[in-house]
Chain A
């Protein structure tokens, strides 16, 4: 195991950037479960779809204007909006039929979505991994080299986390979402159109996931099957943090991202196992997660 400060620092930055992605995907998963009691197993598959759409838009733009990191921005924005719309449509047509149903039925529907979207991706983009290659000079840090794009990812992750916090803490709609995590019945008894809140939460969660997929394209190639790895880790994050708690999801993302990144250094095959050891330990100590609450109505 390399013990020089430089490579530890690199591992820390890669852990933090991984934590940002985990947070951006898990926050939606956690909110969707918190508000609608739906476990969206297809969440990471929609994340993947967002990545592919970003790739295509970027490639199209780069074909006209040449390779440039600036072109990634419009591609990410367009894909985020596209996934917001797709998320809204999926909630209004399919997911809404699952409210109040048993978990196996939810599993069936979301698993069907995973297969359908996976096949659509295969059809449109093929089976090879795709990535965006950008000319980014590595930056020397304490004798090692760090991809400065990692700093960008961490900053963007923090900004989106901040925006999400602001939305939930300060806006009326965000407060309604938090109220709905506690009691959907009471929210609707106040005359609030709860179906719109459901659609918004689903679409927003999916859009934020798609955003993170796009932002990560320059450092990780995307390919079929990545959604399965990611969803497992996101469930770990959400369970550790406590379903429905955004602060919990954030803290758990940092924990899982950083621990995973250092575990890979020490024991590459056991990184995921270590995450699950933490998960089990948290569940024994606090069955409702670090920041979750027991009471729900």
Chain B
């Protein structure tokens, strides 16, 4: 089992505009944690900073005892973090299979069962018959599953999912929810961003509510249920 992800006092900028104002968060091994908040509050920026895709101006990010601050994205990925971005970024002229195979990276711990094409197709059966199709011609739901599958092929111990069910049809959301719960049961740690409480409550153990680049609430989802004023202030209901 790997160590926790710890983000301390994270500040991030786009050019001169200050977007994150000292984010603090922790994801313990095996935990499923949600970053909740409306559009534009800094969820994506937090994830991209963890991944090294947006330079953190201040603060400290450690994972599994390793300081990630200042490392290039490929080093961060190699310390066991998988990333499924909100834009999905499926490589459009590569086949579904190539999109998965390109991402293969051996597990860090020797004892773990590695992800294979077969395991990905078992979790996301829709992808199997599409194997030879170009990634650019998938539906939104298929693309999202491929994005998660691609991240899994690198055998991460922590998965970052940025709004995995955003813009998907309700049936697809249901399907993906079940699949993410299944994934969670494999013991992988998950940090995901979400705007809606309903999806978050189904999968997350704990949530951070973000607003204006700051953490405004930190706790279990049951506790959030008992604080309607926080829900009303920071979330879309």
**Which residues of A approach B to under 8 Å, CB–CB?**
172, 175-176, 178-179, 182-183, 185-186, 188-195, 293, 295, 297
Contacts and interface: CB of A to CB of B under 8 A. Distances in A.
A176 B51 CA distance: 19
Given A178-B91, A182-B91, A172 B102 contact: yes
A179 B102 CA distance: 9
B82 to A, nearest CB: 8
A220 B165 CA distance: 60
B73 to A, nearest CB: 4
B123 interface: no
A256 to B, nearest CB: 24
A interface secondary structure, majority: helix
B89 A188 contact: no
B191 to A, nearest CB: 14
Interface string B99-116: 001110100000000000
A191 B104 CA distance: 9
Contact of A188 (B72, B94, B98, B105): B72
A239 to B, nearest CB: 20
Interface of B: 51, 53, 72-74, 76-78, 83, 85, 87, 89, 91-94, 98, 101-103, 105, 150-151, 154
18 contacts: A172-B101, A175-B98, A175-B102, A176-B102, A179-B102, A182-B92, A186-B85, A186-B89, A186-B91, A188-B74, A188-B77, A189-B77, A190-B77, A190-B150, A191-B103, A192-B102, A194-B72, A297-B89
B105 A190 contact: yes
B77 A178 contact: no
Contacts of B53: 185, 189
A295 B93 CA distance: 12
Contacts of A293: 92
B63 to A, nearest CB: 14
Given A185-B53, A191-B78, A194-B72, 11 more contacts: A175-B102, A178-B93, A179-B91, A182-B93, A183-B91, A186-B91, A188-B73, A189-B51, A190-B74, A193-B74, A297-B87
Most chain B CB neighbours (cut-off 10 Å) among A182, A186, A190, A195:
A190
B39 to A, nearest CB: 20
A37 B91 CA distance: 17
A183 B102 contact: no
A188 B53 CA distance: 9
Contacts of B51: 189
Nearest to A193: B74
B209 to A, nearest CB: 26
Contacts of A190: 74, 77, 102-103, 105, 150-151, 154
A202 B31 CA distance: 43
A189 B73 contact: yes
B16 to A, nearest CB: 17
Contacts of A193: 74
Contacts of B151: 190
Contacts of B91: 178-179, 182-183, 186
Contacts of B77: 188-191
A188 B94 CA distance: 16
Contacts of B76: 189
Contacts of B103: 190-191
